Structure 1
Amino acid sequence: MSELAGTPHAAASHTGAGSMDATATKAGPGRSGLAGFASRHGIYLFLIALIVVSGIVAPSFLRGDNISNMLMQMAPLGIVVIGQTFVILVRGLDLSVSSVMATAAVAATSFSGTNADLPAVLGLGLAIGLGTGLANGLLITKRRVSPFLATLATMIVLQGIRFAWTQGAPSGSVPPLLRTVGSQAFYGVPYNLMVMVVLAVVFGLVLHASTFGRKVYITGGNPLTARLVGIGADRVTIACYMISGGLAAIAGLVLSGFVGIVDNWVGRGFELDSIVAAVIGGVALSGGRGSIPGALAGAAILTVVFNAVLLFGLPVQFQIIIKGAVIILAAAFYMRRAH
């Protein structure tokens, strides 16, 4: 058993370095220099190139206020992407994140709307997110429901609960401190971006520098090996879904502060955007490979593209077309790397 334990842990450590490193390893030892650097850091080079090209085509793109606005828009998506990364690494996906975001936001505004309510707001929001994640994890691991159907079901259930609670017309106000965090900046640096960075560092350490993180990679990379070495794959999977749900709730609260009003559809579309961002960033849909920095780079790419579409004077509908094209390209790129 000790011999078995050594091999997957070493493999997990290698995988934890990120999808780009795994790609470089597959390419063979002869791949070095510029080609090897591009292979390992291609997603970041593409992001830089995209920013440069957008700035050339539309000079207003690089204005300080536009960059601050993009960072503010990216932060809620980035928070969701962190959680979605955990789920995809264990061969799953979470379609319920947008509904968790909206439900947490609606619950947050059902109080008096003062800063004194913030502890209750955060507590209720996290309870909704963690509870949804627990339900998703149990359905998938104990009842063997597919991740798609399980998270789709919880998404619909939450929608029904939310509309029953609000009668289709939510009312209330966002606490002032939440408004500040969601829509204000400190010398051009958005507060919600600071929240995202802190969460990225914390969960990055959990994923890339802890025993639990190694278990996540082993469970996603080879569930059979995980069971052979005594890893509770079901518990790891449930924990990943709870992380995704909890972070989605936080993102919903942050986004409600950005929007500033009560909305039954806060976070709509984030379920697909977060999956696309993670895949663009090198998180393998087959599980066991990917990193949080790469996934956040994918979120940044989506944000830059959507912003550039508007600055280029193109109709907003082009965002939907581009999103579909990005999904196709990401899937094609993933399939090419898999072979």
Structure 2
Amino acid sequence: MKLPFFFRNRMTEVSLTVIFVLGFLALVATSNGVFLSRASLQGFLTYLAVPITIGLAQMVVLCIGQMNLAVGTMGGVTCAIMAVLMADHNVPIAIAIPIGLLSATLMGAVNGALVVLTQLNGFIITLGTYTILLGFQYRLVKTFTIDKYPSSLPEFGKKAFVGFPYILVIAIITAILLSLFFSRTIMGRRILATGGNPLAARLSGVSNNKSVFLAHTLSGLLIGVASVITIASLPGINRSIGGDWLLASFAAPIIGGVLMSGGTIAIYGTVIAAAVVRLVDIARAQYSLDPSIVSLSVGVVTLSTVALSEWRRRRTERANEGIKATQ
């Protein structure tokens, strides 16, 4: 039976789902049921929205075989722009949020345009824009915490629908729309074709440059969504926003089954991997472990996943070469 596009990396996704369920049950058992309290579950689900969205933003660039190292500073600048507009210039929320989304999308478009024009890998380009945007973020926020924007925004971040925070619902809807984009649109399939085999894609009439530009632009839009979620879930914005996004943005899609070589996406895998990482963070707090344990664990798992994926890719290539040699 053909799986929906949302669920494609069956083994990885099933394994992660089992790990999540077992981890969830373990936390419930060891917390004497406290983890099942409304406040605990609400906190878990609320802080899951951003890791999911930034994971999807990185996944879009990974699927063309590139990286976006500017994820954190793009988000930080976008949050700063919206906060400054609302707090210092009294811009209404209904205007500030679209400006923020547009700003993040334009940052992604600039990354994509630079990659296409210079023909350098996104790793190099986004490393440069990361530094530039970091300076711009510090320039906007300075050493202050901006919290004088309308209270209705953080209040929205606390609201829930049938127990699910609105901001998590936004993240899940974003994931579903992204799945539909890659499965139902020509542009989405062309991006995957470019990531899977650029030469074959070009010979099939696909513009690889257009695919690369679109992937980075879409990544920017998703970072904009993550920024809106962030500003709605925090009491204030300062220059530290986005500082811890980079590892999280790579961990979710890579652990979720996305190949670094490109050509694949794993939307459900990214979502469930983000949930597993969040469980690890909660377990660290519950058992009073050193905070570095989370970063260490996630880093080791991410690196191991990359190494395993690369080993599988090379083994498949050697097997294919052997088949061709015998024909």
- TM-score greater than 0.5 by the shorter chain: yes
Q: Is residue 90 of structure 2 the alignment partner of residue 101 of structure 1?
A: no
TM-score normalised to structure 1 length: 0.84
Q: Does 1:256 align with 2:235?
A: no
Contact 1:174–1:257 under 8 Å retained in 2? no
Task: Note the alpha carbon deviations across 1:176-217, whole angstroms, 9 max, x for none.
Answer: 332123333344311101111221121110012222221122
| Among 85, 105, 117, the residue aligned to 2:59 | 85
**How many aligned positions are there?**
311
Structure 2: 5+ residue stretches without partners: 316-327
Please give the residue correspondences for 1:138-177 in structure 2 after superposition, counting only pairs within 5 Å.
138-169=113-144, 171-177=146-152
Alpha-carbon offset, residue 18 of structure 1: 5.4
Matched, 1:222 2:211: no
Per-residue deviation at 1:39? 6.1
Partner in structure 2 of residue 51 of structure 1: 24
CA contact (8 A) 2:6 2:267 kept: no
Match of 1:73 among 35, 47, 63: 47
- CA positional deviation for 1:282: 0.3
Contact 1:136 1:154 in 2 (8 A): yes
State the distance in 2 between where 1:240 and 1:66 align. Answer: 36
Q: What is the letter of the counterpart of residue 99 of structure 1?
A: T
For the residues of structure 1 that align with 2:275 and 2:193, how far apart are their CA atoms?
28
- Provide closer, same or farther for how the CA distance between residues 216 and 185 of structure 1 changes in structure 2, counting only shifts above 3 A: same
* TM-score of the two chains, using structure 2 as the length reference: 0.87
CA distance in 2, matches of 1:186, 1:126: 24
Counterpart contact for 1:115–1:177, Cα < 8 Å: no
Match 1:42 to one of 7, 12, 15: 15
**Residue 326 of structure 1: how far off its partner (Å):** 2.0
1:130 pairs with one of 95, 105, 122: 105
Residues 1:327 and 2:302 are matched in the alignment: yes
Indicate conservation of the 8 Å contact 2:65/2:263, yes or no: yes
- Distance in 2 between residues matched to 1:99 and 1:71, nearest whole Å: 24
Q: Percent identity?
A: 23
Task: Find the aligned partners of 2:276 and 2:79 in 1 and give their Cα distance.
Answer: 26
1:9 match: none
Partner Cα distance (2:36, 2:147) in 1? 37
Q: Deviations over 1:87-144 (max 9, x none)?
A: 1111111111111111111111113449961232123212221111111111222202
* Structure 1: distance between partners of 2:91 and 2:58: 31
CA contact (8 A) 1:134 1:241 kept: yes
Query: Match of 2:101, as an amino acid?
Result: L
CA RMSD of aligned residues (A): 2.4
- The letter for the 2-side match of 1:144 is Q
Q: 1:183-222, aligned counterparts within 5 Å?
A: 183-222=158-197
CA–CA distance in structure 1, aligned partners of residues 269 and 47 of structure 2:
18
How far has the Cα of 1:218 moved from its partner?
0.9
Q: Distance in 1 between matches of 2:117 and 2:128?
A: 16
Q: What secondary structure sits across from 2:65 in the alignment?
A: coil
Separation (CA, whole Å) in 2 of partners of 1:57 and 1:336:
37
1:64-94 deviations in Å (ceiling 9; x for gaps): 3222211100101211122211111111111
**Inter-partner Cα distance in structure 1 for 2:150 and 2:206:** 43
Matched, 1:20 2:9: yes
> Deviation at 1:321?
1.9
Give the aligned partner of residue 119 of structure 1: 94
SS at 1:110's partner residue?
helix
